[in-house]
Chains A and B, each alone.
Chain A
């Protein structure tokens, strides 16, 4: 395994608000607060920031540089996919460090769903020759489109709604101990099964939270990280893979049979493990992009924690709980903690590897972070507390 070149040395977050309630704060204000918190956590001064890394179409870089009064940014780049690009942002920052383009790169992500809800994104796009069929079908948001893939998984493998219910129930159990989490009331399976269908087979409880906030992470060289204020969390490797087959994901629906009934992570998982010289057995905690609960079941298959088609029984066995075979989202994830385009998952990975998480996985040394099942490139990264 190659030695890690870069490490996360600082993390910062704004408070998280329910959708729309961050008003009248503006996005540059939220980002600024997250960046300042992360920089302080790393023991740096804002004037030392010389790099920015984004995903999800990024932000207005010029406005950010002005707003924060940054003096010499020598690296400002964006991974070209939406939530699927989450982990690729860490890979991008590591590239900036490794190539010597910058020394103190801040990774930034945030959401503010005021006037526009990501869950209704497809319906809000202008009609195009490609998306016209989604409009005719009535597929207005990602959850409705993903429902088609989820039903196919149930059809092919006999996956039960109880498996999706266990993902939601486990996330609630994890969130219950965290003051910040938005959904902390314990949930029983019969309550889950009685939840109204929004996009059959997806019920209301399969849909994640909609919240506002911003987070930031400071990435420095592994060498500098040794002297950092906090114990460093090394970027052991990242991968970004685009394939024509997964393509535009649920905007296209042209995947082969295995990829269709998946979370689209198969190719990026293979490349990630190969780049890191690690496998699923080496991962201590998994931060899986869970904007819809069935995607956890399918991503566990993609990343090799169980065989294709066995995600349902694997989850139902209790594997994703604390103390299970692979604890998933011990912070409660997008389903029960908060939704900030996956940024809270990276934050939790860092806290787990610093050994300070609220729901600490005992002895955690490695963490997997996956981007969301969305248009390519798909991305994933492995973090560790040893270089």
Chain B
């Protein structure tokens, strides 16, 4: 089987955000991936929230988390546009970052040969338009 993962249509997806996650989405609007790091003890905080899980300080600096690799993934068959259309392959994927220990980001891996993807594969972040923000998706680094 020659299965390739698809890019979902996010055009109607409203991204919910709050004061803790807003800087993530603001940087994403400029195609930049940043993660919150505690300014007191340098622990990364994900998902974003009011306190550092290690030292309970509040302040963070938003910094690039470094190169991304696949930690795990799954493959879902989703119905095609009509009943005769072939299924679409969607790949929810969890990645880790070289410079942000303990942080895992889940999104979807696009344009990937489903049966050749492996844990540890390097990926790049690609930003795709949703209703009110750009959302990060992953693509295998070629």
Cα-based distance from A45 to B73 in the complex (angstroms) = 53
B30 contacts the other chain (Cβ, under 8 Å)? no
- Of the residues A128, A133, A136, A151, contact of B74 by C-beta under 8 Å: A151
B17 contacts the other chain (Cβ, under 8 Å)? yes
In the complex, chain A residues whose CB is within 8 Å of the CB of B17: 129, 132
Nearest opposing residue in chain B for A250, CB measure: B106
Using C-beta atoms within 8 Å of the partner chain, give the interface range for chain A. Answer: 20 to 34
B90 contacts the other chain (Cβ, under 8 Å)? yes
B72 lies within 8 A of A137 (CB): no
Cα-based distance from A136 to B13 in the complex (angstroms) = 8
Expressed in whole angstroms, the minimum distance between the Cβ of B19 and any Cβ of chain A is 9
In the complex, chain B residues whose CB is within 8 Å of the CB of A256: 102
Cα-based distance from A202 to B92 in the complex (angstroms) = 14
In the complex, chain B residues whose CB is within 8 Å of the CB of A136: 8, 10, 13, 106-108, 130, 135-137
Cβ contacts A121-149/B at 8 Å (1 or 0 each): 00000011111111111110000110111
B67 contacts the other chain (Cβ, under 8 Å)? no
A117 contacts the other chain (Cβ, under 8 Å)? no
B77 contacts the other chain (Cβ, under 8 Å)? yes
B76 lies within 8 A of A144 (CB): yes
Nearest opposing residue in chain A for B128, CB measure: A136
Cα-based distance from A134 to B90 in the complex (angstroms) = 13
**Given A136-B10, A137-B92; A254-B106 close (CB under 8 Å):** no
Interfacial residues of chain B within 68-107, with CB under 8 A of chain A in the complex = 71-78, 90, 92-94, 102-107
B92 lies within 8 A of A254 (CB): no
- Of the residues B48, B74, B104, B119, contact of A253 by C-beta under 8 Å: B104
Cα-based distance from A155 to B71 in the complex (angstroms) = 10
A152 contacts the other chain (Cβ, under 8 Å)? yes
Looking at A127, A148, A201, which has the most chain B CB atoms within 10 Å of its CB? A148
Expressed in whole angstroms, the minimum distance between the Cβ of A161 and any Cβ of chain B is 14
Expressed in whole angstroms, the minimum distance between the Cβ of A301 and any Cβ of chain B is 18
Nearest opposing residue in chain A for B44, CB measure: A254
A129 lies within 8 A of B18 (CB): yes
A133 lies within 8 A of B106 (CB): yes
B27 contacts the other chain (Cβ, under 8 Å)? no
- Of the residues B16, B74, B93, contact of A127 by C-beta under 8 Å: B16
- Of the residues B93, B102, B119, B136, contact of A152 by C-beta under 8 Å: B119
B47 contacts the other chain (Cβ, under 8 Å)? yes
**Given A127-B16, A139-B92, A148-B94; A200-B107 close (CB under 8 Å):** no
Expressed in whole angstroms, the minimum distance between the Cβ of A126 and any Cβ of chain B is 8
**Given A129-B47, A200-B75, A252-B47; A151-B104 close (CB under 8 Å):** no
Expressed in whole angstroms, the minimum distance between the Cβ of A187 and any Cβ of chain B is 22
Nearest opposing residue in chain A for B89, CB measure: A200
Cβ contacts A250-284/B at 8 Å (1 or 0 each): 00111010000000000000000000000000000
- A contact face: mostly helix, strand, loop, or mixed: mixed
B72 lies within 8 A of A134 (CB): no
**Given A128-B16, A129-B20, A144-B76; A137-B108 close (CB under 8 Å):** yes
Nearest opposing residue in chain B for A152, CB measure: B72
Cα-based distance from A149 to B21 in the complex (angstroms) = 25
B62 contacts the other chain (Cβ, under 8 Å)? no
Nearest opposing residue in chain B for A156, CB measure: B119
B15 contacts the other chain (Cβ, under 8 Å)? yes
B103 lies within 8 A of A137 (CB): no
A197 contacts the other chain (Cβ, under 8 Å)? yes
Interfacial residues of chain A within 144-170, with CB under 8 A of chain B in the complex = 144-145, 147-149, 151-152, 155
Expressed in whole angstroms, the minimum distance between the Cβ of A151 and any Cβ of chain B is 5
In the complex, chain A residues whose CB is within 8 Å of the CB of B105: 133
Expressed in whole angstroms, the minimum distance between the Cβ of B35 and any Cβ of chain A is 12
Cα-based distance from A202 to B78 in the complex (angstroms) = 15
Cα-based distance from A194 to B136 in the complex (angstroms) = 35
A244 contacts the other chain (Cβ, under 8 Å)? yes
Cα-based distance from A130 to B17 in the complex (angstroms) = 8
In the complex, chain A residues whose CB is within 8 Å of the CB of B47: 129-130, 133, 252
B107 lies within 8 A of A137 (CB): yes
**28 cross-chain CB contacts under 8 A:** A128-B16, A129-B16, A135-B13, A136-B107, A136-B108, A136-B130, A136-B136, A137-B106, A137-B107, A138-B76, A138-B90, A139-B106, A144-B92, A148-B71, A148-B73, A148-B92, A148-B106, A152-B72, A152-B119, A197-B77, A198-B77, A199-B74, A199-B75, A199-B76, A200-B76, A253-B106, A254-B104, A256-B102
Give the 6 A-B residue pairs with the shortest CB-CB distance, closest first: A147-B74, A137-B92, A200-B75, A148-B72, A127-B16, A129-B18
* Extra inter-chain contacts (17) besides given A133-B106, A136-B130, A148-B94, CB under 8 Å: A127-B15, A127-B16, A128-B16, A129-B20, A129-B21, A131-B16, A132-B15, A132-B16, A133-B107, A136-B13, A148-B74, A151-B73, A155-B119, A200-B76, A202-B74, A244-B53, A254-B46
